[in-house]
Amino acid sequence: MRHLALLPTAALVLLLGACGAPAPSPSAEAVIDSARAAHGASVLDRALVTFDFRGDAYRLRQDGGAFHYRRAYADSLGRPVVEGLTNDGPYRAVEGDTVTLSPSEQSAVETTVNSVAYFTLLPAPLGDPAVQPSYSGRDTIDGVPYHRVQVTFRQEGGGTDWEDVFVYWFRADTYDMDYLAYAYGQGPDEEAGTRFRAAYNVRRRTGVRVADYHNYTADTLAADQMAQYPDLLEKDALEQVSEIEVDSVQVRPL
């Protein structure tokens, strides 16, 4: 009879213990999937995105697996120049005539055009097969809870900067990407550094979330220390490097 009397108490202890246990961490893939959906990635799968960035005109066209990213500007002689990146590689046209690019020029065009496209379309590009995400914890920034996800890249399909490391902070309730950090120059003989971006001027274009960013740095932080950026932001201990502003954004589904 004693054992029968103790059963409800033991069950209650187990129940209370279970209630006090921390919630299991979600997978990085689940967080990214939710963030991509919240930002309108399905629209971007087949769409034309146009915008101005630092005086240059960009056109980003994606149609399933096919893509064409283009940057138009005037060179120092006032000639119209178009640089682009497609599934077939980079190109440059001056006054409408395609010019031959050296390997270093090809790399420069690819890096310039692709980096602007990548940051503008985030977090949609996180669905790429080269992405290697890992869930790295929860943070509270300015009183708001966030999921923190780190991303590295496979060498195959990861582009020329495949060794870069990114950290993203997605709101736990809406999955908005309000903050991101990245470490560049992680390859041999490269000048390394890190940056931290905080979103502002958030708006929607045809269901796609668009934002501008305050761009910060902290010289003391290495790639494996980027999780400290939010604390330094709240302590006003970061150096602002620039503003990342995309103007006249339009999104047209194909």
Q: DSSP secondary structure string, the chain?
A: -HHHHHHHHHHHHHHHHHHHSPPPPPPHHHHHHHHHHHHTHHHHTEEEEEEEETTEEEEEEEETTEEEEEEEEE-TTS-EEEEEEETTEEEEEETTEE----HHHHHHHHHHHHHHHHHHHTTGGGGSTTEEEEEEEEEEETTEEEEEEEEEE-STTS-TTTT-EEEEEEETTT--EEEEEEEE--STT---EEEEEEEEEEEEETTEEEEEEEEEE-TT--GGGGGGHHHHHHTT--EEEEEE--EEEEEEE-
Average pLDDT over residues 210-226: 94
Asked if the model's pLDDT at residue 160 lies above 90, the reply is no
| Model confidence band, residue 22 (pLDDT cutoffs 50, 70, 90) | low
Domain boundaries of the chain, sorted by first residue? 26-253
Task: Indicate yes or no: pTM above 0.75.
Answer: yes
Average pLDDT over residues 6-18: 44
Percentage of the chain lying above the pLDDT 70 cut: 89
Asked if the model's pLDDT at residue 188 lies above 80, the reply is no
pLDDT digits (tens, 9 = 90+) for 89-132: 999 999 999 999 999 999 999 999 999 999 999 999 999 999 99
Domain 26-253 maps to which CATH number in 3.30.1560, 2.60.40, 3.30.110, 2.50.20? 2.50.20
| Model confidence band, residue 21 (pLDDT cutoffs 50, 70, 90) | low
